[in-house]
Structure 1
Amino acid sequence: MIDLQKELDLTYLFITHDISVVKYISDEVAVMYLGEIVEQTDKKTLFENPRHPYTRLLFKSVPDISRPFLSEDGIIKGEIPNPTRLPKGCFFSPRCPLKSRDCEGAHPLLEEKSPGHFARCIKV
């Protein structure tokens, strides 16, 4: 895919559930949770400074040979909300380690947190 991309000057829309693959395929990345973008930036920025709590947890869930088992802090706790009955406020709040009462209020907007780096979270 990468060879064809370079040879034919292609653009791909690559969808994956494996964040480790993103490093090799993507230039720009949009992380989604329950059908909406929660973080969007270039690959380098995302891997060096993930902002959204969901993105951070995704990175912690990638297997690493330097640690024998998945650490407790890399496990996303709780159940994924029912998409037909989404929670009020932030959709990730029921599972978020940074959750506060504010997160259950208004639904957060996708905001530019630093130049070219967007996140949907009031805590970052």
Structure 2
Amino acid sequence: MSDLRNAITDEFQYTVDNLLVRNKSILDQLTKYQDSCARVNRTIAKAVTHCGCIQINSQKQKYPEDDSDMSLEDLKLIMNDHLEGKLCDNCRDFIEKEMGRNLFYLASLCNTLDLNLYDILLKELDRVQMLGKFTLR
């Protein structure tokens, strides 16, 4: 299974390299990547404000006053993501499209900087697994 994931990631990165012609400059790629991040955020916000399939009900996270006996797992369970509802199929499609575009420009940056996207994923996976709950992101 790992070889398949590596092959898919490498194929994606190779395809991006072959398709990217106009925005070959690192400056173009940086700004396109930044724009794609903003588009992901905007599309999620539109799911709230335009469609309404999801709602964001935000407030200060509530921590127990005496958390000395609380495990990190217990704390994780009481933390709130402030999201209510479920993405409709239309919003899901739009968000997936924008996230895909974001991955495209991330792969283009990897290509320009001679980095391998799959290797980056593996290194980050190793880092978070090694640190476990101590990453606390």
The structure that is strand-richer by fraction is 1
Report the TM-score when normalising by structure 1.
Answer: 0.22
Report the TM-score when normalising by structure 2.
Answer: 0.21
* Structure number with higher relative contact order (C-alpha < 8 Å, ≥ 6 residues apart): 2
**Which protein has the larger Cα radius of gyration, Structure 1 or Structure 2?**
2
